[in-house]
Structure 1
Amino acid sequence: MTTATTHLPDARRHDIDALRALAFLFVIVYHVGMYYVADWPWHLKSPHAADWLQWPMRVLNLWRMDLVFLISGVSLGFLSRGQGTWGLLRSRGVRLMLPLAFGMAVIVPYQAYAQGVANGMVAPGFGTFLLRYLSMAEPWPKRAFDGAEFGITWNHLWYLPYLFTYTALVALTLPLWNSAAGQWMRRRFNGLRGWKLLLLPVLPLLAWTMLLASHFPPTHNLVRDFHLHSLYFTMFLYGYWMGVDTGVWQELERLRRVSLALAVAVIATFIALRVGAKGPPSGLLMDALRMLYLWLAVATILGHGHRYLNRPWPWLRWANESVYPWYVLHQTLIIVGVTLLAPLALGPVLEPALLVALTLLGCWLLTDGLVRRSNWLRPLFGLKLRRRAAQPRQPASAEALPPEPGWRSPSPRA
């Protein structure tokens, strides 16, 4: 049985701002961890790779990108109230696909080069590599680097074409979502309360996993990634429905301790079954535990975020404009940091600490010192052009749009 829901006023959602910034900070830490976790393929691997890292990485991996896509859907929920189909496609196309093209041509190539050299399939000399990479005149050796079969790769930037695809799907079907049937579905979801909110959203995720997981392993190549698409788009749609509602956010806040306790219990059960099994366990029980933990973890984060982060933190305005450039830059800076630090043999404690520090420092220097200051570079990193002349400030309640990429209604988002 659903209850009536109300819509959010045009007040800034500081909790969503903060969660978005923190989610992408976790992405940076996760990608540093990928260099050190044993038996997980990545572009480069450390001689200090550790088996114990697999479990914390897996616990994080089960929900990290699902949370990001849900937050992206929340943004679209706000943004779609002020734009139609073609406005959404035009604005999102520029904000997502221009940084993708720039990143694939300028930011990502060093990752492919470093991996190809480490694999012994690319000759040293980045300039020569870059000319061949950009020209795509001849094929690369098989498995020279991730994406070598396509001649060019987007590596960590895969999130951008996925997000644009999901945005386009919703934008092209806006009449459906705005119809009586579409609004009924939104109300039914946002009207979930108590145990229904913690359990029912799991059912579509579990159904997709049972139907698709064994046939479509993750690829991040967009074309045949049907299992990940089913999960990510479902979470994106949940966020789109939730964005402008107040009741569902208040309920997630009310249930935050229950969802946290259940998430801990579910992941503990999952780990116990995995550790106790002779081989990797599979089947309905393990799929159910994974999907249940995914949703409970996201619900816990959203509930606690709404309770504790929904305030105008001093760092939030800076973080809102920095998060997109940091995302574009961070993985190449990790690879650069690896090539600088690995020859020094600093060990499994000092090296990763310095790698994280160098990555964060590089992101800050390049973003604050260069990207944000240049109107030539800002659109290439998903930022709006800076105004040439200062505009008189309006009262906060009258502001139509926050600084990019903010979260007022309507609110642009990358």
Structure 2
Amino acid sequence: MTTTNRRYDIDWLRVIAIGLLLIYHVAIGFQTWGVMIGFIASTKTWESLWIPMSMLNVWRIPLLFFVSGMGVYFALRRRNWKELLMERTGRILVPFLFGMFAIVPIHIYLWKSYYKMTAGYEYNPGHLWFLGNIFTYVLVLSPIFFYLKGHDDGKLAKGIKWLFGNPLGLFATLATFAAEAWLVNPGIYSLYATTWHGFFLGLLAFFFGFCFVLSGQPFLELILKWKWIFVVIGSALFVIRMVVFKQMAPNYLQSIESNFWIFSVFAFGYKYLNHGGKALAYLSQAAYPVYILHMVFLYLGSKYIFQLDLPAPVQFLMVLVVTSVGCFATYEVIRRVKFLRPLFGLKWKSV
């Protein structure tokens, strides 16, 4: 497997995706239907906020699956299969199980308490379903990935590099995801959590993310060349979805829109974000614990702020600040306590 320099842009995209996740989840609390999917909802709705969120919701989760597959490529360069499975068990499975039994029950309790329901202990994967999927993908796809690692000059690896080094690879990606959307036929395309659609879409994105990095510089040069075309087509499909289909475009069309946004994110990310620094080093470490913790502080902030007679935009900013400050303050504790670190996906080593 070809050795390449560290791709800081991928680290940045992971951090940015987690940041967008926080904003997206806060925004759900200002939609009339928020309570129906288990969020604390404000009586001060802000429905126009959902317009930019609708643009995000077709690609933000698939992007994370792509990035996770890319991460496995880099992990394989210095690990055998036993080391990879041990590392991913500690980094993914342990936080998943800990979160399911110790973190998610807290925000379930807060939600039930707010709506005056009987509130007891209730474990659930909750928002951590993503981790369960990722660990499954590692188990399922590792044999293929290790085969490609051991046969870097073989026909299969060369075929993948050739395919994604020219436009045919992009069209193959679009066709594959459109086929998934058509065959699985989810009721709502952006409902990924604990659905077969979310599982198969994530599996494909995880695999394609690995292939994108395996393809190396030719793939990067291709998406850089076409970056503005991706933006234009993605924007046009978003407008069509909102205006013509009133947000409910056919699933195959949403899958195509999703991938054009993702191609553009990768292209602009590589062009402008491929640099490290102290900020990235800190945020990269914090992103995982913040993801695990954010629903607790989101619900805690919502529970008290939504009782205040304030305009929706003010409530939104307050909840976002409480969620962010609560997560990062707790992270500062976690990273300093050795036995807590692995429970939140961090290495045993303390600061």
Tell whether the structures are fold-level matches, with TM greater than 0.5. yes
Q: Using a 3 Å threshold, how does the CA distance of structure 1 residues 321 and 215 change in structure 2: closer, same or farther?
A: closer
C-alpha distance after superposition, 1:145-174 (max 9, x if no partner): xxxxxx521211111101101111112444
Structure that is richer in helix per residue: 2
Counterpart for residue 201 of structure 1: 173
Contact 1:38 1:53 in 2 (8 A): no
Residue 405 (structure 1) aligns with: none
Q: Which range is displaced more, 47-56 or 12-21? A: 47-56
Aligned to 2:112: 116
Alpha-carbon contact 2:182-2:251 (below 8 Å) kept: yes
Say if 2:266 is the partner of 1:295.
Answer: no
Matched with 2:334 is 371
Identify which of 86, 89, 112 aligns with 2:82.
86
The answer to whether the 8 A contact 1:199-1:292 is kept is no
**1:70 corresponds to:** 66
CA contact (8 A) 1:8 1:246 kept: no
After TM superposition, list the pairs within 5 Å mapping 1:127-276 onto structure 2: 129=120, 133=121, 151-174=122-145, 176-178=147-149, 180=154, 182-193=156-167, 196-214=168-186, 218=191, 220-221=193-194, 225-244=195-214, 245-275=216-246
Give how far 1:21 is off: 0.5
Tell me, in whole angstroms, the C-alpha distance in 1 between the residues paired with 2:170 and 2:211.
16
In 1, the alpha carbon distance for the partners of 2:144 and 2:274 equals 31
Conserved 8 A contact 2:73-2:210: yes
* Counterpart position of 1:42: 37
Deviation at 1:175, TM superposition (A): 5.3
Return the index of the structure with the highest Cα Rg: 1
CA distance in structure 2 between the partners assigned to 1:37 and 1:197 by the alignment: 38
Q: Which residue of 1 aligns with 2:16?
A: 22
Q: 1:215 to 1:360 in 2, by over 3 A?
A: closer
Q: 1:181 to 1:207 in 2, by over 3 A?
A: farther
Shift of 1:81: 2.5
The 3-state SS of whatever aligns with 2:294 is helix
- Mark the runs of 5 or more structure 1 residues left unpaired by the alignment: 1-5, 124-128, 134-150, 389-414
| Structure 2 contact 228–264 (Cα < 8 Å) conserved | yes
Distance 1:281 1:163, change over 3 A: closer
CA deviations over 1:309-355 (Å, ceiling 9, x no partner): 11124411111111111111111110011112122222212111111
Gaps of 5+ in 2: none
Measured at CA, do residues 153 and 181 of structure 1 come closer, stay the same or move farther in structure 2, by a change above 3 Å?
Answer: farther
Q: Distance in 2 between matches of 1:173 and 1:237?
A: 9
Between Structure 1 and Structure 2, how many residues are aligned?
A: 344
Q: Does 1:384 align with 2:347?
A: yes
Q: In 2, are the aligned partners of 1:80 and 1:88 still within 8 Å (CA)?
A: yes
Query: Aligned with 2:33: secondary structure?
Result: coil
Distance, in Å, in 2 between the alignment partners of 1:35 and 1:281 is 21
SS in 2 for 1:383: coil
Q: 3-state SS of the aligned residue for 2:337? A: coil
C-alpha separation in 2, matches of 1:209 and 1:250:
28
Change (3 A) 1:189 1:371: farther
Q: Deviations over 1:252-277 (max 9, x none)?
A: 122211111111112112222113xx
Q: 2: CA distance between counterparts of 1:373 and 1:78?
A: 27
Alignment RMSD (CA, Å): 2.3
